[in-house]
Structure 1
Amino acid sequence: MNQTEIINIFTKKTLGLTFVLSAAALAFAQEKVSISGTIVNKNNQPVPYASVTFSNKSSKLLSDAALTDERGQYKLNLAPGNYDITVEAIDYKRSIVNKQIAAAGNIGALSIEPEASATNIKTQDIQGVVITAASTKPYKVELDKKTYDPSQDIVSKGGNLQDVLANVPSVSVDTDGTVSMRGSTNVKFLINGKPSALLGIDDGANALQSIPADQIERIEVITNPSSKFEASGTSGILNIILKKNKKVGFNGNVTGTLGYFPRTALNANLSWRKNNWTWFLNGGGGYSESQNKNNTETTYHNIVLPTVDPNANPFIQPRDIPSHQLQNSTNKTYNNNYNVSAGFVYDISEKTSLNLSGVVRTFEGNNNEILDTYNTFYRYDQNLNRWNQMGSFVQRDSDGESNNLAFQGDIGLDHKFDDKGQNLAISLSVQRSKNNNGSDILETENMIPVLQDITQRESVNKTLIGKADYELPIGEKSKIEAGYRLDINNNQYDNFVDSTSDNPFLPNYNNTTDYREMFNAFYLQFRSKIGSFGYQLGVRDELSNVKINYDNLAPDFAPINKTKNYNNLFPSIFLSYDVSKDNQILVNYSRRIDRPRSFFMVPFPSYSNSQNIFEGNIDLNPSYVDSYEVGYNISRKKFTINPTLYYRHATDDTKMLVYRPDESENVFYTRPINLGSDDRYGLDLNFTYDPLSWLKIMGSLDLFGYKTSGIAYYTTRDAETRELKTESMDFTGDGFSSRVRLNTTFKIDKTFSVQLQGFYRGGQKTANQNTEDMYALNFGASKTIWKGDGTISFNIQDIFNTRSREILTFSSDYTRRNYMQWQPRQFSISLTYRFKQGEKVEQPKKKKDINANDTNGDDQQGPM
């Protein structure tokens, strides 16, 4: 079965599957019985707005709750069984009674006693009080991580993971989809705590766009991971937690999105709980288009023109010597993306549960890139015996196709030895991802075809991950955590390139590579608290084995077999001190590793075009980072603030060397190398502030300095003498930059909110490169409809069309300016419908003590 057939089956059957699941869930719900009753006081008067909780004695999954109406009455559906009924109301004592629910009907009146201070107090009516339940803070600080809740992010509604990440504190998303944390791009992505087939083989921009925002429950930002986490990802870890509804009965939501550039999406999150079973189904897909442009202007310096008869030197025959080049490219992509995940959790007993889940993801993309190149150069005229300035126009038309099919299966067992926190979790994950990329390239010079290239690249990734985590409490304030993890990855690459031109480099791109890596990891952590002082000490040992078998099909090219072994210890220290109840000082340290991506180590991984060639480095080694943080966390009712000072020192840092092997040709090579050190230090400040009930502000500020050192040496051929010579590129540089993000939400009324989101990214400089600053402003609006069962949202990304990047690169013989815009202004509208998830937005009339102090409502925290 090919991928197209799978997509067709998926699109045709998704709606039917949704109805089947809904019907099954409703069948379960029909086994419950309808229960009603009344809450009264000692004078047999009804008590309005009292909370009535039914706790099932045999299974917590069957518990439920209700709120009485103005007449003190309530109604809900329950499974037959024995229940503890807890009744709570303002100015009344908490009451608990036990009842056996056997059949449908009215269980009568339950009486509660008033507090002594509330006896015989005169009351009066108040009107239209907004519910004052405490809202969930979108950003929460914990000992070893920070958690971001995207449910209050209106701008990303109907979008994808890349849109959500653009608003996460301490995280930046570049114009090409590159994600960085505190200015560094080596970020490790996890899905529900582990690598996932949802993100594909290379974690690129397409992978980020494949996860709908509506399926994300929260994002854990781990800037300095403890020893419990895998050691890769020197900038930190982003753990994407997907939704799994835990409510009893049938619950879910469906979201549809329309947007421009053309975007359509339909996603559903469904779940139901029955007795010891919890089932879930998340899935959806859609179509999207994108358009990016890339303009590059290159000026060549020190062009040497011969002053002698060119016929006197066979190496200085009439040839083109470029002196200026302008390249303008426009790339349009058309993507179809679908994914579905399903699974269940079965409670074998109150202390043991089994979970099983599976994921299927498919992606199809078509892209068309038109690259126009304008060359200004000198050509020797033998008749006139002089060099004339001339020009040429080269157009490169590339039609490409890509597809990805990924599977993932997970099974896990969680066991609680007791009620004191002694737990064991065992899991196994099997993943497979297959990518196919191909392109047909036609190049013309001055409207005359000069070459046609055909490229095909297939990559297959197979991953096996086994984990075991154990927790053992020691007393009330101490805990030991230990675990083991096995990672086995096998990446296979198969490349093919054919061309009508006589390009001596092309045979190198006909190759196969088998890249295998295996990691064995053990960790041990101890955490405790003495008074206001808390600490966590841990160490992780990782044994790494990497094997690369590279076979180039070019003539006279011997296969390359490489094996690398590493054994590294990664300690971590986390300290905290509670200055007061909501004031905390955090200090931590960890050591991390940056392992090269697999395709970075393939000598010739893929062919793009004849003028820009990426060349892998099979001798590339990992980089190591020591990371330090000192933070302070303040949490109040109206605001939270979390400033953090950080410092990172990296050794053998990976840099991208861009050079020309031949100065007489305008062909640039890019090669990753281990080079020198990289230091980052700065202040990362995140805050939330709710000054009024209708105004919420969330912001982040990252002020950081950087210092890099290292000089790279490479060999090039002189344009005039044709002799080989050694050149150098200095990566040494330092400077200061900033990242600023501000998110402001205005609550127009209890059902309607608007949001403005802006960011600014400061420029950066190194010895051979300057990156200009960048800024953008986004807008979102959200309206609750259908009595809380629906939400309609609208957003505009990049209102003023300013989200672009400009980079100036320079060396001794050329200067290059590059401008890139990944996606121009776009907007979308989405509609969400929730099943059995009503949202009370207003509380009706209620009695109030006339002797109590009035409040104006400014301190009330409603849902955003």
Structure 2
Amino acid sequence: MNQTEIINIFTKKTLGLTFVLSAAALAFAQEKVGISGSVVNKNNQPVPYASVTFSNKANKLFSDAALTDEKGQYTLQLAPGNYDVSVEAIDYKKSMLTKQITAAGNIGALSIEPEATATNLKTNEIQGVTITAQSTKPYKVELDKRTYDPSQDIVSKGGNLQDVLANVPSVSVDTDGTVSMRGSSNVKFLINGKPSALLGIDDGANALQSIPADQIERIEVITNPSSKFEASGTAGILNIILKKSKKTGFNGSVTGTVGYLPQTNLNTNLSWRKGNLTWFLNGGGGYRESKSTNRNDDYFNNAVLDDDLVQRNTDSENKNKSNNYNASAGIVYDITDKTSVNASGTVRTFDSENIGNIDYYYTYFKDPNSTSKRVTLGSNNNLAFQGDFGLDHKFNDKGQNLSLSLSLQRNRSYNDTDINQTRNGAFELQNIVNQNTINRSAIAKADYELPIGENSKLEAGYRLDINNNDYSNDVQQSTLAAPDLSFLPLYTYDANYKETFNAFYLQFKSKIGRLGYQLGLRDELSNVDIFYKNLVANKPAINTTKNYNNLFPSVYLSYEIAKDNQFLLNYTRRIDRPRSFFMIPNPNYNDNQNIFDGNIDLNPSYVDSYEFGYSISKKKFTINPTLYYRHQTDDTKMLVYNKLAEDENGNILIPKVVESHTKPINLGTDDRYGLDLNFNWDATSWLKFLGNVDLFGYNTKGSTVYDTYDHLGNPIQAVANFEGKGFSTRARLTTTVKVDKTLNFQFQGFYRGGQKTAYQDRKDMYAINFGASKTIWNGNATISFNIQDIFNTRAMRSTTYTANSVRDSYMQWQPRQFALSFTYRFKQGEKIEQPKKKKDINANDAGGDEQGPM
């Protein structure tokens, strides 16, 4: 295609788009008038929450609908014309009539008759009826995200967010608690569309366990986020939407859980809505024990001297006990019918104690029976606060909206570890490690939406993020040579990491015939300041500043073959920012045999992501296959090297001590590609399936020459080769069997295929879970029972190859568990959701109750 052809196509497309937008603007300019009215019964009493639908006889685009309020009244904006009017309400017959709308004003009362079998409840007794039926599909595909509803997930009942994520299509939870999407663990977590102190610093796995499953309304899986979202998280975004009831009156539920490994949980969700005021209160807490097992067998092949190490066997077990408590409260007040304000606050605590035992068995040529034992006693205390404030304003009833919000967050974490090590039964080493971290964040954002015609919308926004992390770390050590505890100079420091992001985005979505499109551009200006001061070593403080200015485009296309049957094509550019502690020098010293070093020169890596998918959704099934490809540059890889121990002045210790270190570096590229297939099938009225299959390939490139030391302390150069490629699979199938209206069984199978790279061969893994639920007490209560990993097979086995050794590993994060839950629901009121228009241009918006993922 030559340049002239490209220019001609571009000109035609531009003229076509201009014509469509002009026509849409003319349609949008159709003048509407405000009308009002009421719905009454045969006794002339108001009927609250009745549905009133106006269908324009000449042009369906001018049709609209409304719900009556508590006094049976409604208001609406309609274009003048002739309308068919239908009125519906619980326990009443459907009423049909014709109305001519000519001017603004009150069109009077619409009468509706009760059903012959109606109970004729009084207005204040209707609270026990729900007029909006719950969707039976737990999985829904939209233009820029997929939505998962965990309410029908029996297997994770009584569990936490980590348990729920293990059941979400396109998401995997590894044996060590790491969450990944399509084989990549660089996942960004949001709570109600924003980063949250609830998830702790750097999204730790422990934080996922502190959010109860019963407080989660839905999870939005955004594998290729649009420009409206922040650009970090190259694997995608998981947006956790917490429950906020939309029902009138006082409503609530309480869930209690007991299980083994010992766990107890009690959580409640309360809400009250009347008139212009809504408040909610969610809270709970629990106790949980966990146990992980690790076994490593190292075979060394560099035995040159007769005292060289030949083999090392490691057997470790870690037991953890944790308590977590959380409480959230908030209000929403409607100042007018177009303006509302909201405020909410959340507090979360997480305390844990862990005991770790590591047994080492060494085989030398000279001493074949050397043993070492390492006992670790650790404790963690985490306290998080979050306050959210917002204002939402509707300029009119046509969808022109402005949303302002401010989130203030603080998270404090104390970690204390006592390490004792013996060799051949005699004392060898003691370490006391204290790590304190405080994170303070402020997030301010503004989002504006402007509909243009029936099918188009312009969105724009601004977001300011200020994140401030304070680190305080000290390590004390005693040995046989120096029995008194003294500070390790290199690991006793104060550090501060501050990042400030200013983001702007502009996004336009529209539709031309069957072709829908969404174009977006985001600009992020980033500033990172790092301060590091060693408190013992005689070294100057480090001050480093990094600045980035990046553009992130996004393009979404959809072609509708028929209703709920479409092709989807999209492209986005993303950024993978280094975690803050990756850039702090000498951040960690929990294992003297493998020390993690930060890299203050670490830079972000960037990803270009492409997806092509197909989605068909019918009454009984939904199928969504997606082909994807991600290309990442300046990938972050972990370099393992040897280093000589130093004193506080940077002098090498004599005799020489060789330490093993790990450091993140930017190197090479990483390509991921595959087929992600999700499906939902209601085979019969009593049998349902929900499945996910991910067939993915990977191709990692990058090698570097680095300076290191051999096991005798001699300087050498080595080559780190990170190149590797291969293919793997992940699959999950959930089967739900409905015995009757009150009893359900659920089976869930998980499989992860083997994966091989140049330096690691990971074996395949599978697990099977079971759940059952029984509804009792006229639907007001539910008893649930589940077993996680029935056959105790969820463990990772791998073989890792280095320049001088081969390691066989076994790792199990959690053994088999089971739990029994009881849920009681009371005073279930009516939902007052507005009926959707035939064409709803907001249907693909992301965010949840607190919109604005900016």
TM-score scaled by length of structure 2: 0.82
2:216 maps to 216
After superposition, the C-alpha distances for 1:559-582 in whole angstroms (9 at most, x for unaligned) are: 211110000000000000101112
Could you tell me how far apart the structure 1 residues matched to 2:74 and 2:595 are? 70
Q: Distance in 1 between matches of 2:114 and 2:778?
A: 31
| Change over 3 Å in CA distance of 1:677–1:419 after alignment to 2 | same
Secondary structure of 1:366's match?
A: strand
Following superposition, the deviation at residue 824 of structure 1 comes to: 0.2
Query: Which string of whole-angstrom CA distances, capped at 9 and with x for unpartnered residues, describes residues 620-653 of structure 1?
Result: 1101000000010001111110000000000000
SS at match of 1:692: coil
The 5 Å alignment of 1:1-80 reads 53-54=49-50
Provide the rounded CA distance (Å) in 2 between the counterparts of 1:560 and 1:232. Answer: 26
Distance in 2, Cα, partners of 1:299 & 1:83: 77
- 2:93·2:113 contact (CA, 8 Å) conserved in 1? no
**Which whole-Å CA distance do the structure 1 matches of 2:497 and 2:154 have between them?**
42
Asked if 1:377 is matched to 2:378, the reply is no
Deviation at 1:666, TM superposition (A): 7.5
Asked if 1:357 is matched to 2:344, the reply is yes
* Aligned: 1:193 with 2:193: yes
Structure 1 contact 789–837 (Cα < 8 Å) conserved: no
Change (3 A) 1:267 1:475: same
**Cα gap change, 1:89 to 1:597, in 2 (>3 Å):** closer
What RMSD over aligned residues (CA atoms) do the two structures have, in Å? Answer: 2.9
Match of 1:693 among 672, 678, 685: 685
Q: Aligned runs of 1:788-799 on 2, under 5 Å?
A: 788-799=779-790
Residue 447 of structure 1 corresponds to which residue in structure 2?
425
1:82–1:560 CA distance, 2 compared to 1 (3 A): closer
Displacement after TM superposition at 1:199 (Å): 0.4
Aligned counterpart, 1:747: 738
1:191-270 residue pairs with structure 2 within 5 A? 191-270=191-270
Q: Look up the match of 2:648.
A: none
Unaligned runs of 5+ in 2: 1-38, 54-65, 76-85, 100-108, 117-130, 646-655, 831-854
Q: Secondary structure at the match of 1:660?
A: strand
Per-residue deviation, residues 573-617 of structure 1 (Å, max 9, x unmatched):
000010111210100000000000000111111210211211111
Aligned amino acid, residue 214 of structure 1: D
Partner Cα distance (1:416, 1:824) in 2: 52
Alpha-carbon separation, structure 1, partners of 2:492 and 2:337: 58
CA distance in 2, matches of 1:484, 1:110: 48
CA gap 1:547/1:83 in 2 versus in 1, 3 angstroms: closer
**Aligned residue among 379, 382, 393 for 1:415:** 393
- From the superposition, tell whether residues 517 and 329 of structure 1 become closer, same or farther in structure 2 (CA, over 3 Å): same
Identity of aligned residues (%): 64
1:834 to 825, 828, 833: 825
1:662-720 CA deviation, whole Å, 9 max, x = no partner?
69978432111111000011000000001100000000000011100001332222345
Contact 1:620 1:672 in 2 (8 A): yes
- 542, 555, 568: which one aligns with 1:586: 568
Please list, as runs of the form range in 1=range in 2, the aligned pairs for 1:391-540 lying within 5 A after superposition: 391-501=369-479, 506-540=488-522
- The Cα of 1:448 is off from its aligned counterpart by 1.2
Q: What amino acid sits opposite 2:388 in the alignment?
A: D
Take 1:434 and 1:718, find their aligned partners in 2: how far apart are those partners? 40
Query: In 2, are the aligned partners of 1:39 and 1:111 still within 8 Å (CA)?
Result: no
Deviations 1:132-159 (A, max 9, x none): 9674310000010000000010001000
Measure the CA separation in 2 of the matches of 1:530 and 1:368: 62
1:802 equivalenced with 2:802 (yes/no): no
Residues 283/64 of structure 1: CA separation in 2 closer, same or farther (3 Å cut):
farther
CA 1:299–1:92: 2 relative to 1, 3 Å: same
1:192 deviates by 0.2
Partner of 1:568: 550
- Mapped pair 1:813 → 2:827: no
Q: Are 1:183 and 2:197 counterparts?
A: no
Kindly state the Cα deviation for residue 177 of structure 1 after the two structures are TM-superposed: 0.7
Contact 2:48 2:70 in 1 (8 A): no
Name the TM-score, length of structure 1 as normaliser.
Answer: 0.81
* Contact 2:474/2:488, CA 8 A, preserved across alignment: no
Contact 2:475 2:487 in 1 (8 A): no
**Structure-1 residue corresponding to 2:278:** 278
Q: Does 1:327 align with 2:314?
A: yes
Q: CA–CA distance in 1 between the matches of 2:112 and 2:644?
A: 90
Task: Give the alignment partner of residue 620 of structure 2, picking from 621, 625, 638.
Answer: 638
Is the 8 Å Cα contact of residues 87 and 96 (structure 1) preserved in structure 2? Answer: no
What is the deviation of 1:838?
Answer: 8.7
Partners of 2:657 and 2:297 lie apart in 1 by 16
Residue number among 367, 373, 393 corresponding to 2:354 in the alignment: 367
The 5-angstrom pairing of residues 662-677 of structure 1 reads 667-677=659-669
Between the aligned partners of 1:838 and 1:539, the Cα distance in structure 2 is 42
Give me the whole-angstrom Cα distance separating, in 1, the residues matched to 2:711 and 2:70.
85
Aligned mates of 2:43, 2:783 — CA distance in 1: 37
Structure 2 match to 1:385: none
Distance 1:271 1:758 in 2: 36
SS of the equivalent of 1:418 reads coil
Question: 2:41–2:114: 8 Å Cα contact kept in structure 1?
Answer: no
Q: 1:153 & 1:833 partners in 2: Cα distance?
A: 17
Find the aligned partners of 2:458 and 2:41 in 1 and give their Cα distance: 48
Name the residue aligned to 1:126.
none
> Offset at 1:742?
0.2
Q: CA deviation at 1:89?
A: 8.9
Aligned amino acid, residue 830 of structure 1: S
Q: CA deviation at 1:555?
A: 2.6
Q: Which residue of 2 aligns with 1:26?
A: none
Instruction: From the superposition, tell whether residues 487 and 37 of structure 1 become closer, same or farther in structure 2 (CA, over 3 Å).
Output: same
Superposed CA offset, 1:285-341 (max 9, x none): 0111001011111111121117xxxxxxxxxxxxx5322111111111110100001
Matched residue, 2:700: 708
- Report the counterpart of residue 144 of structure 1 in structure 2: 144
1:637-786 correspondence to structure 2 within 5 Å: 637-661=619-643, 667-719=659-711, 722-786=713-777
Q: Secondary structure at the match of 1:688?
A: strand
Once the two structures are TM-superposed, the CA of residue 763 in structure 1 deviates from its matched residue by 1.6
Structure 1's 97 and 585: CA in aligned 2 closer, same or farther, altered over 3 A? closer
Once structures 1 and 2 are overlaid, which stretch shifts more, 658-667 or 179-188? 658-667
Cα offsets for 1:156-183 (capped at 9, x unmatched): 1000000000010000000111000000
The whole-number CA distance in structure 1 between the counterparts of 2:91 and 2:248 is 27
Q: Secondary structure at the match of 2:164?
A: helix
Contact 1:394 1:446 in 2 (8 A): yes
1:91–1:196 Cα change, 3 Å:
closer
Measure the CA separation in 2 of the matches of 1:190 and 1:96.
47
**Structure 1 residues 425-449: Cα deviation after superposition (integer angstroms, max 9, x where no partner):** 0000000000000011111111111
Aligned-partner Cα distance in 1 for 2:447–2:644: 55
Which letter maps to 2:776? I
What is the CA-CA distance between 1:64 and the residue it aligns to?
A: 9.0
Query: Is the Cα–Cα contact under 8 Å of residues 191 and 240 in structure 2 kept in the other structure?
Result: yes
Partner of 2:527: 545
AA aligned opposite 2:334:
D
State which drifts further: 501-510 or 579-588.
501-510
Say whether the 8 Å CA contact 1:787–1:838 is kept in structure 2: no
SS in 2 for 1:618: coil
- Shift of the alpha carbon at 1:91? 12
Question: Contact (CA 8 Å) 1:657, 1:712: kept in 2 or not?
Answer: no
Judge conservation of contact 2:474–2:487 (CA < 8 Å) in 1.
Answer: no
Q: 2:219 and 2:716 mapped to 1: Cα distance?
A: 51
2:587 and 2:74 mapped to 1: Cα distance?
A: 64
Residue from 751, 755, 778 that aligns with 1:787: 778
